Every structure is written in structure tokens, then in C-alpha cells.
Amino acid sequence: MEYRMTVPFLQEDLSRLRAGDVVYLTGTIYTARDAAHARFDQMLKAGESLPVPKGACIYYCGPCPAAPGEIIGPCGPTTSKRMDAYTPALIDYGIAQFIGKGARSPAVNEAMRGRAVHFAATGGAGMLYASRITACELVAFPDLGAEAVYRLEVADFPVVVTFDLLGNDVYARTTQN
């Protein structure tokens, strides 16, 4: 199926998605890569709230600096597995949507089952994704540069569901009804 949907999603929106669906996202997503995830982990262990709201969609991306007159530079996805050590705790916190590239570990897939979905963005398409971003604002950790957390407003941002709430995983080529 193909969908045009607004992020962040409501749980019922996530429930209708199936692995392999193409989704064009419009709304708000947040960037966070390795260094930001390490800080998220420290914050959660200290009982602090994260600088992203519960229910947010996290894009594993470190945007390049914007050229003069541009909103953002190229901003393609990074490998999702690099965040696997942190993902179950983020799901427990209330994050239910992740965008990156590549398969997730079995432990993350189990943590996502029934609670979160994973989307794939196309590697090497940083300029395409930049063209779908209508606003960019620094949210947290400015000392991390490109790995800081940014709030992005996106329009028709193309992704593919790679892991759905039922546990269907396009990388494992398994399906469940």
C-alpha cells in the first residue's frame, strides 16, 4: 500500500501500516545519531525527560550544513543498527517511530513488536530528503554539530515500512497477518 500520513502518528495510524508499505510523511520528525543517543541514554538513566516528545519520530541522520539560502544540507539516513543498544529504552520512554537504513537486531525487533515501527530511508538520497524539509530548528546538544538533535518539518518525505507492529520484517522476509 501507499500512504500519505502526518507525523507524529497516532497508535491507530501505526496499526494499519504493514512491512513494505510506502509512506510519504508530512509533519515533524527529529534527527538523532549515535552521540545524541548516548546522551539520551544518560538522561533516561538519570530519570530526566528527553528533548524530544514522547510519540516522536526519530530520524537517524546528521544533516550537513545548509548552503546559503537553503534550509538544510544533504541529510540522508545512517545505519539503524548503530542505535540498537539505545532503542529499547527509547521505546519504553514512548518513542514509537524510527527512520534509518538497514535491518535491526533481533532484540530491537522484539522490543518494537506491538509498540513501534521502523521505516527505511534510501541511502545516498540526502539531497532528495533535504528537498522535502520545509524547516529545521536546533533542539538540543549544539556541541555535537551535525549529531545534535534537530526538529525538522517535512512534506512528502518518502520512507518504506521495514518493521511493523505485527512483527513483519522486510529484511527477514517474514509476514504475519
Which contiguous run of DSSP H or E holds residue 175? none
Query: With the CA atoms of 82, 90, 37 and 3 taken in that order, what torsion angle do they form, in degrees rounded to the nearest 10?
Result: 70
- Active-site residue set: 37
User: What nine digits make up the cell of 109?
Assistant: 525487533
N- to C-terminal Cα distance for the chain? Answer: 15
Dump strand ranges (E) for 55-167: 57-59, 97-100, 117-120, 133-140, 149-163
Q: Within a 10 A sphere around the Cβ of 165, how many other Cβ atoms? A: 20
